[in-house]
Structures are given as C-alpha cells and as structure tokens.
C-alpha cells in the first residue's frame, strides 16, 4: 500500500491499548519500521491549528493525522506534554552559528557545526551562506556544500552565495575589496550542477544582460540584494527569472513616491519571494507590517542572516579582519554598521507573532512553507502533510523549542539546553 493510501483512520485503537504502549515524554525514535504517534500538542497545519489529534510518522515521512482515541495498534505513542507541533523552520540565509563562520570554515565540518547550532532553535533546513569573498573561497564553499549534501548532513539543503557580485554603494558590512564583476567564468562557477539548492545574491544592475536568465535556466535561485537597481532595472531582472530579494529593505533602493525603487518592485511582484529579518534592528516593525499587507504573507519568508554567536559562546567575532561585537542581540562593526544578526528562527517566529501581529499559522507559513516553496521543495518539506518528510519542531507554551525532528530523527536539544 502506498503512503498516500495509509490513512490512519483505517486502523482503530482503544484508549487502553494506547496507554499500554505510551512512551514517556522525551522518548526518542521508534524502532525501524514502526510507526510513531506524536500526541498531546496542538498541530499547526498550513491553514489551521488542530487539537485532540495525533501526528503519525512512518520512518522519515509524515503519515497523517488520527484521533487520539483511534490510533494504529502497532505504533509507539510519544507524549508531547502540550505546546505546538510545527513544520521545522527553513532558513535560506545563515552565515554562521556555533562560533563558526562559513567564510572561515568552508568545510563539511564547518557546515555541520553551523547546522547543529541552529537546529536547537528549530531550524531543520538551511542554506549555509558565504559572505562576499574571493573566487577560491566561493569554490570552497560550493564544494563543501556538495560534500555535505552527499554525506547527508542533517538540515543542509544547499548553499547561498551572497556576493561578491554586489554594488559598493550598498556594501553594508561586506568587504568591497573582494567584489568582482559577473562574467562567463563567474556564471559557470555559480551554475555548476548541485545535489541540492543554490541561491546566489547579486546586484542585477551590475550584471550583464542575460546573466540572471542564464543562472536561472541552470536551476540557480537568483536574488537581488546589496544593489542600487531602480524599479525598471529590478523589473528587468524579474523578467529574466529573478527568484527573490535578499533581506527586503536592507541594502537596496527604497520606495519613494516618484521612484519606487527595488522595494517597490519587490512588493508589487507576485511570483518572487522577499526575505525579512524580523529582529527589530534591521527593519522597523511598521515597515514590515506594511510590506506584508502589500505583498501578502505568501511572498514573505523569514531569514536570520545569522552570524557565529548564534548557538555559540563568544560575544564577538572577526569578519574579513573587522571586529564585530554583539550587544543586546545586535551585531555591529566598529562604525555601527549592522553585521548580520544574532537572530534565531525561533525568535523570528515569536517576533513575527508579537511585532507584526501574526497568528501562529501565518508565522509558521513564513518560517517554513514559504521558504520551502522558494527553494522548490514544497513537495518534500515545509508543511505538515501526508507524504512529506518528517521535519518538525515542538514549541512549548512560551513558544520555545523543546525538540526537533529531521527526517523523523528526534533531537531533544532545545534552545534552553
């Protein structure tokens, strides 16, 4: 029988039988081949929250929902102890974590450490992100990402190359001495075949006509960022297949009455996706609320732009020879320039609910479902639905992470551990 035909409602169970096979809170993965019922949490679906239901897992896949008093006889029951079960968070912009910066450690071990650090905050899928660097560093990051994918490092979905093909006028914390123009060699490097997903952020106004189209046709997800492109230039890039906008509002031309800029193009377009850093530092909450109203929640995805302090122990780090300090959750260079963030996806979800007045279903969509669709992975992950991979996060009543599952493998190391 196929997974789609294995409907839990077909197999009844009595409450007494359920109690006899209930595992304690914190019980780990069921034996190979067994089915697991996650019981006692509200389940956040793509369009609603359901209660008094169990979530059934079969191996690395979601089987479906079943009433708590009608579970399959052969499943192991795991008590969640309240809270919410959501699809695991997907973060497409992660510079570092666990005191590791991808630029400094473009290796499988570096990527593994970054992914592990973010998993405790509910991130079950991510793209380690290289900040503008020399060509050899780009090659190393791409090679490390491919090796991590080949090894099946938990949570790794590909890599994000943010620069070095950016506009110096919007460099932010990036080192412009490492910037380089887009040419045929660059396109060949970025468009090399990949086992996962590859995102490239560039300034479209500095790329030769056809560059975005060439990368897009090669399966690369091209985003605009650190750019001086105006409204017309942004639309030209969208016509070539531009897939998204990196950290909306930050390091791009703004929306003005007679010059709508890149922000105007991003909010008007219905097919691309906009990343938002909801930390209260990068963008004013009112601006983000307006963006959501204008673009619609289906086009917004939460990103962290996280740096090494996330999941780490150090209060400072070095970026391209520049000392970056972290104070009150804010990463800045010596002149006060924002340098990524110390944001986690769990915090981003809470901030989205609290600052942007979103309910948990909408916030979950922006943290999981929308990034999955941006990455063209919506048929594999990003929502709780039958047949999808069991990538999940358990939040307690305070919306803090208590456990994660990647491909059905549970990890109880949450953000308070």
**Residue 18 belongs to what domain range?**
3-86+384-411
User: What CATH number did the domain enclosing 27 receive?
Assistant: 2.30.40.10
Q: Which residues are catalytic?
A: 305
Assigned domain for 416 exists: no
Instruction: State the pairing for strand pair 53-58/22-23.
Output: unpaired
Lowest pLDDT segment from 37-51, 64-78, 137-151, 215-229: 64-78
- Give me the pLDDT at residue 70, please: 86
Residue 114 above 50 pLDDT? yes
Q: Are residues 142 and 185 in the same domain?
A: yes
CA-based diameter of the chain, in Å? 69
Residues 144 and 160: their CA atoms lie apart, in Å, by: 12
Q: Are residues 117 and 141 in the same domain?
A: yes
Q: Are residues 276 and 299 in the same domain?
A: yes
Instruction: Provide mean pLDDT across the span 45-53.
Output: 96
Residue 25 above 90 pLDDT? no
Q: Are residues 75 and 118 in the same domain?
A: no
Q: Facing residues of 36 across strands?
A: 57, 76
State the burial class of residue 70 (Cβ atoms within 10 Å of its Cβ: 0-12, 13-18, 19+). middle
Copy the structure tokens of residue 375.
């990455």
Instruction: Provide mean pLDDT across the span 53-73.
Output: 93
Binning pLDDT at 50, 70 and 90, where does residue 295 land? very high
Copy the structure tokens of residue 77.
């029951």
Assigned domain for 38 exists: yes
Residues 181 and 333: their CA atoms lie apart, in Å, by: 26
Residues 25 and 182: their CA atoms lie apart, in Å, by: 53
The answer to whether 303 and 329 are in contact (CB under 8 A) is no
Binning pLDDT at 50, 70 and 90, where does residue 417 land? low
Q: Are residues 46 and 185 in the same domain?
A: no
Q: Are residues 168 and 273 in the same domain?
A: yes
CA angle 84, 47, 291 (to 5 degrees): 100
- The distance from CA 276 to its chain's CA centroid, rounded to whole angstroms, is 11
Q: State whether residue 410 is helix, strand or coil.
A: strand
- Give me the pLDDT at residue 23, please: 44
Q: Are residues 283 and 407 in the same domain?
A: no
DSSP secondary structure letter of residue 321: T
Q: Are residues 93 and 55 in the same domain?
A: no
User: What CATH number did the domain enclosing 253 receive?
Assistant: 3.20.20.140
Closest by CA to 265, choosing from 226, 298, 291, is 291
- Give me the pLDDT at residue 33, please: 57
Closest by CA to 272, choosing from 249, 238, 232, is 238
Binning pLDDT at 50, 70 and 90, where does residue 34 land? confident
Assigned domain for 120 exists: yes
**For 235-251, how does the pLDDT look when each residue is reduced to its tens digit (9 = 90+)?**
999 999 999 999 999 99
Q: Are residues 93 and 137 in the same domain?
A: yes
- Give me the pLDDT at residue 22, please: 42
Instruction: Provide mean pLDDT across the span 386-405.
Output: 98
Instruction: Provide mean pLDDT across the span 123-142.
Output: 98
Closest by CA to 145, choosing from 104, 185, 102, 186, is 102
- Give me the pLDDT at residue 402, please: 97
Q: Facing residues of 131 across strands?
A: 162
E runs forming strands in 143-265: 158-162, 197-202, 221-224, 244-245
- Split into its structural domains, the chain has a count of 2
Lowest pLDDT segment from 9-18, 317-326, 347-356, 373-382: 9-18
Q: Are residues 199 and 179 in the same domain?
A: yes
Q: Are residues 279 and 259 in the same domain?
A: yes
Residue 40 above 60 pLDDT? yes
Q: Are residues 339 and 327 in the same domain?
A: yes
Residue 303 above 50 pLDDT? yes
Q: What residues have CB less than 8 Å from 335, skipping those under 6 apart? A: none
Closest by CA to 229, choosing from 198, 257, 264, is 264
**For 198-227, how does the pLDDT look when each residue is reduced to its tens digit (9 = 90+)?**
999 999 999 999 999 999 999 999 999 999
């Amino acid at each position: 029988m196929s997974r789609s035909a294995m409907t839990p409602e077909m197999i009844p169970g009595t409450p007494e039988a359920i109690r006899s096979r209930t595992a304690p809170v914190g019980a780990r993965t069921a034996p190979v081949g067994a089915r697991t019922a996650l019981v006692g949490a509200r389940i956040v679906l793509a369009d609603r929250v359901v209660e008094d239901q169990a979530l059934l897992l079969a191996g690395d896949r979601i089987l479906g929902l079943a009433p708590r008093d009608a579970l399959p006889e052969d499943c192991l029951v795991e008590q969640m102890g309240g809270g919410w079960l959501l699809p695991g968070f997907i973060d497409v912009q992660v510079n570092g974590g666990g005191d590791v910066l991808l630029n400094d450690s473009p290796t499988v071990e570096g990527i593994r450490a970054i992914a592990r650090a973010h998993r405790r905050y509910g991130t079950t899928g991510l793209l380690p992100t290289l900040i503008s660097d020399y060509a050899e560093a780009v090659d190393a990051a791409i090679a490390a990402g491919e090796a991590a994918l080949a090894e099946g490092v938990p949570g790794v979905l590909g890599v994000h190359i943010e620069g070095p093909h950016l506009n110096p006028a919007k460099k932010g914390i990036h080192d412009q001495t490492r910037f380089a123009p887009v040419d045929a060699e660059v396109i060949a490097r970025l468009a090399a075949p990949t086992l996962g997903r590859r995102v490239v952020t560039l300034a479209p106004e500095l790329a030769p006509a056809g560059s975005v189209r060439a990368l897009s046709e090669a399966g690369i997800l091209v985003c605009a960022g650190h750019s001086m492109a105006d409204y017309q230039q942004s639309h030209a890039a969208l016509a070539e297949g531009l897939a998204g906008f990196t950290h909306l509002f930050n390091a791009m031309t703004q929306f003005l009455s007679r010059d709508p800029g890149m922000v105007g193009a991003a909010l008007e377009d219905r097919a691309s996706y906009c990343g938002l850093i909801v930390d209260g530092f990068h963008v004013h909450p009112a601006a983000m609320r307006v963006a959501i109203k204008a673009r619609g929640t289906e086009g917004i995805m939460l990103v962290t732009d996280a740096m090494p302090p996330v999941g780490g122990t150090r209060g400072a780090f070095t970026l391209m020879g520049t000392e970056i300090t972290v104070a009150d959750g804010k990463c800045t260079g010596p002149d006060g320039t924002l340098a990524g963030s110390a944001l986690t996806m769990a915090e981003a979800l809470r901030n989205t609910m609290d600052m942007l007045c979103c309910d948990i279903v909408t916030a979950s969509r922006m943290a999981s479902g929308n990034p999955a669709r941006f990455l063209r992975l919506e048929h594999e992950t990003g929502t709780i639905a039958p047949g999808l991979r069991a990538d999940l996060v358990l939040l307690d009543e305070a919306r803090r992470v208590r456990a994660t599952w990647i491909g059905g493998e549970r990890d109880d190391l949450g953000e308070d551990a």
